Amino acid sequence: MRRARRWLPGLLLVSPSIVAIGVFVYGLIFWNARVAVSGKHDEVTPPGFDGGKNFVDLWDQPSWPGAVRNALVFTAVFVAGALLLGAFLAFLMDKGVRAEASFRVVYLFPMAVSFIAAGVVWRWLLNPAPADRAVGLNQLFHDTGLGSLANTWWQHPDWGMAAMALPAIWQMSGYVMALYLAGFRGVPEELREAARVDGASEWKVYRYVVFPQLRPVTLSALIILGHISLKVFDLIMAIAGKQIITYVPAVAAYVEIFDRHDPANGATIATYLLLAVAVLVIPYLVWTIRSERAR
Amino acid sequence: MFGRTRRGAAGRGRTMSFAAAALAGVLALAGCGGDGGSDDGSEVEVFSWWTGPGEAEGLTALQALFEKQNPGTKFVNAAIAGGSGTQAKAVLASRLQNRKPPDSFQGHAGAELLDYIKAGQIEPLNDFYDENGLRDVYPKQLLDQITYKGNIYSVPVNVHRSNVLWFNPGILEDAGVDGPPATIDAFIEALKAVDAETDKVPLSLGAQWTADHLLENVLLGSLGTDAYNALWQPGANWNTPAVKGALDDFAEIMKYTTAEAASTDWQGAAKAVVDGRAAFNIMGDWAYGYFVNPAPNGLAKKQGTDFDHAPAPGTDGTYMWLSDSFTLPENAPHRGGALAWLKTVSSKEGQDAFNPKKGSIPARTDGDESLYKGYLEYAFNEWNKPDIELAGSFWHGVTANNKWHTDIDTAVGLFLQHKDPAKLQEALVTAAQNSGR
């Protein structure tokens, strides 16, 4: 009884959260998985059980393989681009620029804009109209004599998704910068000085002393960017809407559920998305728990 | 450390909103418990996608008439923006599945409503038609087309025409094209002439769905009305040389369209014609209201000088129709208000108030002809011609159910990338087989 007095109030305090998360997160994940294997391809058929057949059949949907390919291209370009640009900006900041605070604000600012609002502007910026009707970036290129740089952006049939990653890089690289800058500032000055005394060049100081200590930062950034990228939906809808050329899994799920009225396909896509994010997040969680225990 | 604090805060916020949502759910259940599906006429929530130029004004006119006729009923406009209703239909689907229907919602008359009908989400309106004597005032063909297993499920307020060719007379003159082309072959010749003789866009196009719209027009123009209508019957064969020929024409026509098509909706594509940047555009007749209405909702252009119209190539004598209609959802919270709304919508006064603004004509046959000027006078007379042939628009919900509709859209979207008419035909054959019709 006395022991219960120690743990009971705490449990009571958190139990609403536990119940809510249990129902609204894990309960809904379970329900989604149930629909995915239900064979319920319209709203009238009562749910049955198709033994996961739909996870295979989905690949015969003409729009699905392209959506997966688009998501992979987008993820590769966006994650690499945002990491490199963010690290580079942080490096410049760390080297000391005048008015660092205002630069920091400028680079972080896009984070304050939602994907959906930024998308409206980027749709105009990335318009592929030819020279005489050009607007946005293409017009800028033509007017400054850089006409050869003008291109079809996201409407390129093969690599359009790489252009689609530009707005996302613009939006998230400031955040990556902030992560790295915090990491840089956390590296004790004594370590750098010791390296310099040993005759290391400034590049070598970063290459061999600073960056190796930032592995946790890089990993966090990778996880955060990676899961944003796999789930990307609002940016695509704002720029392109539901057009096959920029299909990604989240858009495909939306179309399956709301346009095609096929709940099983939509739930299957959602399950694939959850698995893809889990592949990223679970190793990270395992690693975090292990390193915290080691401490 | 920072990360951990953030996560905690987000978690708390989530719990709060879940609690709020759960509470709202309980309250809603309690509200329903009273007397489900009552004849409450205190309010009517009307769901539509009429927010764009022209259509929003039409809805306002209809609302004004409704409020005059029903002073005790509060009108709630639940319109959601998005061309062709693409966003609105998603919101509607989730509301219907959550058993929170609006009192009446807009839907294209025809096969588009099949999913709602099969799911038992809308009520048959046979009694409503009988009580209000509506069976005699709508064209018989129209009612036949929207009857499913002996029941009518919606009240058409207007008729739109899908097969309209909009053109810029000045550019046609510059290109040496002698008036609007009457056949698909002449159309292709005209596109070539514009391409060769001027620096204008031969055929302006918008986002992917406008290519679907173009496809239905090319199919109708190339195949003829009977063969087009036959494509939508159960078990129809899409794997024919005639369809192949039509798709070859489609592929040829697509060569003369705008490079930036995917960046704009139908308004941008139609505007290119009246602004003198494109020679042709094939779009439904809702473009007319957009062209002639005053700013800010229209472009205030003049028919005859800034633009003109003709039947889409090869479709003269056929009215490819689509119709906006209103429904009565099962368990509408204010059934009395909904029925009053449907009565206004189906009345001669209602249709004559709505249609001149929207740029469409009454679905009823007894509209006041004097209200319809310019293009609309032409459309009014075409619709009421005794020998007019009717073809249902697939993209605008008449002939294809939702699954088929989306699968054709996917096939067209893939075609925009691979440009291979043979692959397009293969995909269309599969789509027809999978349609479940």
State the DSSP string of A177-196: HHHHHHHHHHS-HHHHHHHH
* pLDDT tens figures, B331-353: 899 999 999 999 999 999 999 99
Q: How far is A128 from chain B (nearest CA, A)?
A: 5
pLDDT at position B10, please? 40
Give exposure, B208-244, as e/b (b: 16+ Cβ within 10 Å). Answer: bbbbbbbbbbbbbbbbbbebbbebbeeebebeeeebe
With a cut of 60, say whether residue B26 has pLDDT above it.
no
| pTM beyond cutoff 0.90 | no
Q: Does A213 touch chain B (CB under 8 A)?
A: no
Region A33-45: mean pLDDT is 88
Give exposure, B319-357, as e/b (b: 16+ Cβ within 10 Å). Answer: bbbbbbbbbbbbebbbbbbbbbbbbbbbbeebbbbbbbb
How many alpha carbons lie under 13 Å from residue B211 in its C-beta half-sphere?
31
Q: Does A185 touch chain B (CB under 8 A)?
A: no
Asked whether the beta carbons of A79 and A222 are under 8 A apart, the reply is yes
Q: What are phi and psi of A161, to 5 degrees?
A: -65, -25
Asked whether the beta carbons of B335 and B38 are under 8 A apart, the reply is yes
- DSSP H or E run through B190: helix B184-197
pLDDT at position B34, please? 36
Q: How far is B17 from chain A (nearest CA, A)?
A: 10
Region B303-322: mean pLDDT is 94
With a cut of 70, say whether residue B382 has pLDDT above it.
yes
Angstrom CA distances, B163 to B118, B256, B266, B268, stand at 30, 19, 15, 19
Query: How far is the C-alpha of A78 from the C-alpha of A163, rounded, in Å?
Result: 9
For residues A163, A166, A167 and A170, what is the CA-based torsion angle, rounded to 10 degrees? -170
Average pLDDT, chain B: 87
How many alpha carbons lie under 13 Å from residue B89 in its C-beta half-sphere?
22
With a cut of 80, say whether residue A216 has pLDDT above it.
yes
Alpha helices in B98-183, H assignment, sequence order: 114-118, 126-131, 140-146, 169-174
Q: How far is A112 from chain B (nearest CA, A)?
A: 16
Q: Does A130 touch chain B (CB under 8 A)?
A: yes
Query: How far is the C-alpha of B382 from the C-alpha of B389, rounded, in Å?
Result: 10
Q: Does B433 touch chain A (CB under 8 A)?
A: no
Minimum mean pLDDT range among A123-137, A227-241, B175-189:
A123-137
Amino acid at B274: V
Residue with the bigger pLDDT between A29 and B31: it is A29
Region A103-126: mean pLDDT is 90
Cβ separation A259–B406 shorter than 8 A: yes
Asked whether the beta carbons of A150 and A134 are under 8 A apart, the reply is yes
Angstrom CA distances, B236 to B147, B230, B412, stand at 20, 7, 19
With a cut of 50, say whether residue B19 has pLDDT above it.
no
At B83, the pLDDT band (50, 70, 90 cuts) reads low
Query: How far is the C-alpha of B163 from the C-alpha of B315, rounded, in Å?
Result: 7
With a cut of 60, say whether residue B418 has pLDDT above it.
yes
pLDDT at position A129, please? 87
The pairing of beta strand B389-392 with beta strand B164-167? unpaired
* Rg over CA atoms, chain B: 23
For B:149-208, CB contacts with A below 8 A are 199, 207-208
For residues B85, B89, B90 and B95, what is the CA-based torsion angle, rounded to 10 degrees? 140
Q: Does B410 touch chain A (CB under 8 A)?
A: yes
Q: Which two tokens stand for residue B8?
A: 């905690």
Q: Best residue in A242, A281, A288 to probe B by mutation, most B CBs within 10 Å?
A: A242
Please enumerate, as own/partner, the contacts of A275-278 that have beta carbons within 8 Å and a separation of 24 or more. A276/A230, A277/A226, A277/A227, A277/A230, A277/A231
Strands, DSSP E only, in B80-179?
A: 104-108, 147-148, 151-152, 155-156, 158-161, 164-167
B269 contacts on A by Cβ (under 8 Å): none
B418 contacts on A by Cβ (under 8 Å): 157
